[in-house]
Homo-oligomer: A and B are copies of this chain.
């Protein structure tokens, strides 16, 4: 049996009881360690909590070595642990398809992920559109495909969850070229960087997807003991000190209800000003008024 087990967001004990029982009976336990991190736990503390060895699975192992992970899983129980929910990204679809080909039974044990836990800021999950990812800009690579997607969401009034780049076990171009397996220190995008990159692309594209005063919500360390939420404009967030990772950002859509704004009050320095920015943003991005078709004076 292959157990796909979500670990939730932060603590070692964010695993479900069912997940923990599965881990304990598995012959091998792999921890996917390249798409995200648990904020309040690491390999060692997990091993202590589970009372058993945990094998780190990096990108190479998952993408090229899946048959090693799945070895003899027709008979043995193998656990594959994923931060958040196992289906939070399609990263692991290949592994599952491969397990099916090998006639390995699969059981999924779900858990919270950023995709549903962002509801903690009080914005209605129903009103989120497509999710976008924002990668670290480099001198020569400043991809802006997220911009069209945010625009599509905002045209129909929806919030956008922006996932911020995580660089774990990346090689520098020089080290890669020379074949040296030396990895850069991990990097996690801050709210400040995200807000700056977003505004840079608006400046460049000028299609009025959002403005400096567009209201947003910054969520830092979601689900961890040090979770903070900040409601502010994009411009204000360029000056925010978001602190330790992980971070996510929400760009508000037009469909904001009073109850949602009341809830955000606890995370906002000046809620009246924020509400004013919400109203201006709604006004600015509202769809054109309905114009009834002209009557054809010459009909008949």
A16–B111 CB distance below 8 A: yes
Chain B residues in 8 Å Cβ range of A16 = 8, 13-17, 111
Chain B residues, CB < 8 A from A100: 266
A87 touching B119 in the complex, CB below 8 Å, given contacts A11-B18, A16-B14, A266-B100: yes
Assembly CA distance A232 to B108 (angstroms): 23
A260 near B15: Cβ-Cβ < 8 Å: no
A172 within 8 A of B: no
Q: Are A262 and B97 in contact (CB under 8 A)?
A: yes
Selected from B13, B20, B90, B152, the residue in CB contact (under 8 A) with A21 is B13
Chain A: interface size category: 35 or more
A158's nearest neighbour on chain B, judged by CB, is B130
A197 at the interface (CB under 8 A from B): no
Q: Which residue of B lies closest to A124 (CB)?
A: B90
Q: Within A83-110, which residues are at the interface with B (CB < 8 Å)? A: 85-88, 90, 93-94, 96-97, 100, 108-110
In Å, the complex CA distance between A158 and B97 comes to: 24
* A117 CA to B126 CA, complexed, in Å: 15
In the bound complex, how far is the Cα of B3 from the Cα of A275, in angstroms?
Answer: 29
Contact A110 B17 (CB under 8 A): no
Closest to A110 in B: B112
- A-side residues, CB < 8 A to B, are 6, 8-9, 11, 13-18, 20-21, 85-88, 90, 93-94, 96-97, 100, 108-113, 115-117, 119-120, 122, 124-133, 152, 156, 158, 223, 259-260, 262-263, 266
A sample of 19 inter-chain contacts (CB < 8 A) reads A14-B18, A15-B16, A87-B117, A93-B259, A93-B260, A96-B263, A97-B262, A108-B120, A108-B223, A110-B116, A111-B111, A112-B112, A112-B113, A113-B116, A116-B116, A126-B132, A128-B131, A130-B156, A130-B158
